[in-house]
Amino acid sequence: MLSGYWHFTPEVLVVCGAFAALFGGYLPGKDRGAAYAAAGAAALAAAIVAFGGTGGPIVFGQLEPDSVARYARTGLAGLTAVWVLWVAGRGMPGERRREGVALALFATAGGMLLSMAEDLIVMFVTLELATMPAYVLMGYRRKDVSGLKRALDYFVDSILASVIVLYGLSFLYGISGSTAFSGLELEGSGMLGFVAVMLTLVGLFAKVSAAPLRHWTLDANAKAAPVSLAFVSTVPRVAGIVVMSRLILAIAASAPAIGILVGVAAAASMIAGNCAALSQGDLRRLLICSGIAHLGYLMMALAAGTETGYGAAVFYAVAYAVPSMGVMLVVAEEGVAIGDFARLASRRPWVAWSMVLWLLSLIGIPPLAGFFGKLYLIGAALQAELMALVLLAILATLLSAAYYFRIVREMFFGDEDEQVGGAIEPSHAATVALALCAVATVAIGIGAPRLIAALGVRFG
């Protein structure tokens, strides 16, 4: 029972990195040194998870470092390493960077634990640990009044979502008499079971910003610093998605009707996200809206309520987060208006081609990460014969190509006379961070069949 604590080595490393960043004033190079140390810790953690083994339930069965958790934890730690590396190179806007780095690492530790959660209590506590630092990161620019106010709004709405989840969890626990995922049993619970599932899912959907409760994320996030957004819209979200998938799979065993609920939310997210993204001129808003749509694709697989759908969804969570992190970091460098990207191809060709790579992956062009992600999502949905959702996802993907290509068009064929921005000072750390994102986007795509097999997904 108490063996297997070595599985926590990566989390401990990440927390150590966070402390190193907090007390970075004593390290050589101060802020920058602290950030490098933290990035190193996160990267090392990712490597340890990736090459370490998996195991059965540990700590009284409350956590399970299975293959899905291994994939998610590697992704989370890796994404954090990239983000921190970028911050080491470019800094946080207007403020000291080391608190931001420390907060991010705490959230990462929470997210990594969250993706192993097999128990409602652990899930709730780590979910909060993963998302709480986000509130601070969103309001990181202390002098930016409208940003702060938005952060407060975001905080209130997010806590509201947490409370609704908590209330729903109390019913789930009440009905099944157990807090373990494996002990959830809703058979014959009638109305009460419906209320429990409804509350939990609505709260969780809001936490990961899916339809129908997604409007506030948009309003609150649209004023945040892009660099904060790059973290908040990827790492805590991936962790949330992983645990949501786990919970839905656990519930679906005894309450298959949950599929309809998830399916409706998936359809709503695809439609709402894509339609909203079409008309956005602010890239932050565009990416957030499209993020909602991507969640819709992902929930399409969850609506299948099968192991396959679960594996495909977890795979897509990371396959989506990597390119979206890359795009967001470039937005943080270049500017949030779509016009800021005019002629990026002639100013910074390598960055522009990396952007193309990420955007193509987000659209779902092979052989990049996003393509295989969508392939498995659609496959899972087809197996469950959710033909309507599949067709909707295809149409939504077509629509998404239209707005993603607006960025490509601006970068390559934008007006020549439009003079934007000054030259951006070169930073090796930031360049490496972007390059890592680009390489990972291709690598996840190329390695997709093996990764998905490792996640235990079987097709055919």
Partner 1 sequence: MAVGPSAFMGVAAVLFSLGLYGVLTRKNAVMVLMSLELMTVAACLNMVTVSRFVTPAEMTGQVFAVFAMAVFAAQIGIGLALVLAVYRQTGSIELSSKKAT
Partner 2 sequence: MFAVELLILVPLVGAALCVGVGRLSARASRLASLGATIASAGVLAFLAAEGIFSGVALEGWRVARDTVPFWDLRIDGLSAPLLALTALTGLVAVLASWGEHNRSSVHHALLLGLQASVTGVFLAADVVLLYVFWEAVLIPMYFLIGIWGHENRRHAAMKFFIYTFAGSAFMLVGILMAVFGIGQTDISMLVSGRTALAQPSLVFWLIAIGMLVKLPAFPVHTWLPDAHVEAPTAGSILLAGVLLKMGGYGLLRLALPISPGSFAHAGIVFAVLGIVGIIYGAALALVQSDLKRLVALSSVSHMGFVLLAISAGTERGIAGAMLVMVSHGLVAPLLFLLVGQLYVRTHTREISRFAGLGVVTPRWGSALTFGALASLGLPGLSGFPGEFLSVIEAFGAWSWPMIPAMIGVVIAAAYNLRAVREVVHGPPAEEWRALRDLDAGDLVPVMLLVAAIVVLGVCPAIVLNMSGDAFATLAELIAGGV
Asked if 402 interacts with partner 2 (CB under 8 A), we say yes
Shortest Cβ 135–partner 1 spacing (Å): 6
Spatial distance between the Cα atoms of 259 and 249, rounded to a whole number of angstroms: 10
Spatial distance between the Cα atoms of 185 and 172, rounded to a whole number of angstroms: 8
Binding partner at 295 among partner 2, partner 1, none, C-beta below 5 to 8 Å by kind: none
Contacts of 6 (CB under 8 A, 6+ apart): none
3-state helix, strand, coil in the chain (%, to 5): 75, 0, 20
Nearer to partner 2 (CB atom), residue 143 or residue 450: 450
Nearer to partner 1 (CB atom), residue 179 or residue 234: 179
Nearer to partner 2 (CB atom), residue 5 or residue 459: 459
Shortest Cβ 136–partner 1 spacing (Å): 7
Nearer to partner 2 (CB atom), residue 152 or residue 435: 435
- Kindly identify the residues of this chain, within the stretch 111-150, that bind partner 1 according to CB under 8 A: 120-121, 124-125, 128, 132, 135-136, 139, 142-143, 145-146, 148-150
Asked if 29 interacts with partner 2 (CB under 8 A), we say no
Measured in degrees and rounded to the nearest 5, phi and psi for residue 51 equal -100, -10
Give the chain's length.
460
- Nearest partner of 395 among 262, 273, 259, 303, judged by Cα: 273
Asked if 156 interacts with partner 1 (CB under 8 A), we say yes
Asked if 450 interacts with partner 1 (CB under 8 A), we say no
Nearer to partner 2 (CB atom), residue 341 or residue 412: 412
Binding partner at 382 among partner 2, partner 1, none, C-beta below 5 to 8 Å by kind: partner 2
Contact in structure between 22 and 98 (CB atoms under 8 Å): yes
Q: Could you say which of 4, 9, 61, 173 contacts partner 1 (CB under 8 A)?
A: 173
Contact in structure between 82 and 325 (CB atoms under 8 Å): yes
Asked if 201 interacts with partner 1 (CB under 8 A), we say no
- Kindly identify the residues of this chain, within the stretch 339-398, that bind partner 2 according to CB under 8 A: 356, 360, 365-367, 371, 375, 378-379, 382-383, 390-391, 394, 397-398
Cα end-to-end distance, the chain, whole Å: 37
Contact in structure between 290 and 209 (CB atoms under 8 Å): no
Contacts of 367 (CB under 8 A, 6+ apart): 442, 445, 446
Nearer to partner 1 (CB atom), residue 150 or residue 237: 150
HEC secondary structure over 73-85? HHHHHHHHHHHHH
- Kindly identify the residues of this chain, within the stretch 214-233, that bind partner 1 according to CB under 8 A: 216, 219
Contacts of 383 (CB under 8 A, 6+ apart): 304, 306, 308, 459
Asked if 22 interacts with partner 1 (CB under 8 A), we say no
Shortest Cβ 381–partner 2 spacing (Å): 9
Shortest Cβ 367–partner 2 spacing (Å): 5
Asked if 181 interacts with partner 1 (CB under 8 A), we say no
Shortest Cβ 171–partner 1 spacing (Å): 7
Check residue 212 and report its DSSP letter.
S
- Nearest partner of 117 among 52, 202, 51, 181, judged by Cα: 181
Nearer to partner 1 (CB atom), residue 188 or residue 426: 188
Shortest Cβ 223–partner 1 spacing (Å): 10
Spatial distance between the Cα atoms of 34 and 22, rounded to a whole number of angstroms: 8
Q: How far, CA to CA in Å, does 44 sit from each of 250, 394, 434, 440? A: 32, 38, 18, 16
Check residue 35 and report its DSSP letter.
H
Shortest Cβ 193–partner 1 spacing (Å): 14
User: Total residues at the site for partner 2 (CB under 8 A)?
Assistant: 26
Binding partner at 330 among partner 2, partner 1, none, C-beta below 5 to 8 Å by kind: none
Shortest Cβ 163–partner 1 spacing (Å): 4
Asked if 412 interacts with partner 2 (CB under 8 A), we say yes
Q: Could you say which of 5, 29, 94, 163 contacts partner 1 (CB under 8 A)?
A: 163
Write out the DSSP string of 299-362. HHHHHT-SHHHHHHHHHHHHHHHHHHHHHHHHHHHH-SBGGGGTTHHHHSHHHHHHHHHHHHHH
Q: Is 160 exposed, middle or buried (0-12, 13-18, 19+ CB in 10 A)?
A: middle
Binding partner at 449 among partner 1, partner 2, none, C-beta below 5 to 8 Å by kind: partner 2
Shortest Cβ 420–partner 2 spacing (Å): 18
* Residues contributing to the site for partner 1 (CB under 8 A): 120-121, 124-125, 128, 132, 135-136, 139, 142-143, 145-146, 148-153, 155-157, 159-160, 162-164, 166-167, 169-171, 173-174, 177-179, 216, 219
Residues lying near partner 2 in the complex (CB under 8 A) are found at: 356, 360, 365-367, 371, 375, 378-379, 382-383, 390-391, 394, 397-398, 401-402, 405, 409, 412-413, 449-450, 459-460
